[in-house]
């Protein structure tokens, strides 16, 4: 069902400063920057082995990321797992007790379909499942 960790999402206040921090940490520059208008967020991706780090910066003060940072500060926002069938993954995870925040996959960054599950059902961790759009 869950194939691997696709990425870890990190909420940041300043994308330029954060890109430099992670460039120094990982020894490589980010490979992709993208805005997801529907989520009011700018993203920046770094590769680390077969996984990625996704930096998330709010593009609107009312965005989920802006609200997250206001409440909790910068830091790990979510963990994303790659799946090969996102609809089956949503159905399965709901059946075993995880509460979906969106039952219908939506287009996310990095050419992915995404769905999220409420953190209260996973010990405070926001879980994302994602599938590459064919």
- Mean pLDDT across 81-94: 98
Which residue is it, tokens 């921090």?
21
Identify the band that residue 75 occupies on the pLDDT scale cut at 50, 70 and 90: very high
pLDDT for residue 1 is more than 90: no
What DSSP assignment string belongs to 39-91? GTEEEEEEEETTEEEEEEEESSTTSHHHHHHHHH-SEEEEEEEEES-HHHHHH
- Mean pLDDT across 87-106: 97
Please enumerate in sequence order all residues whose Cβ is within 8 A of that of 36, keeping only pairs 6 or more positions apart, or say none. Answer: 42, 43, 107, 108, 109
pLDDT for residue 92 is more than 90: yes
Q: Cα separation of 3 and 31, whole Å?
A: 23
Q: What is the pTM of this model?
A: 0.94
């Amino acid at each position: 069902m869950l194939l691997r960790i696709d990425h870890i999402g990190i909420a940041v206040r300043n994308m330029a400063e954060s890109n430099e921090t992670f460039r120094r940490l990982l020894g490589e520059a980010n490979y992709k920057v993208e805005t997801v208008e529907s989520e009011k967020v700018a993203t920046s991706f770094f590769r680390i082995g077969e996984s990625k780090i996704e930096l998330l910066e709010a593009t609107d003060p009312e965005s989920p990321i802006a609200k997250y940072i206001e409440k909790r500060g910068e830091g790990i926002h979510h963990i994303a797992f790659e799946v090969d069938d996102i609809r089956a993954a949503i159905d399965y995870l709901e059946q075993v007790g995880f509460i979906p925040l969106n039952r219908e996959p939506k287009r996310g960054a990095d050419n992915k379909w995404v769905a999220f599950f409420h953190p209260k059902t996973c010990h405070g961790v926001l879980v994302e499942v994602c599938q590459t759009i064919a």
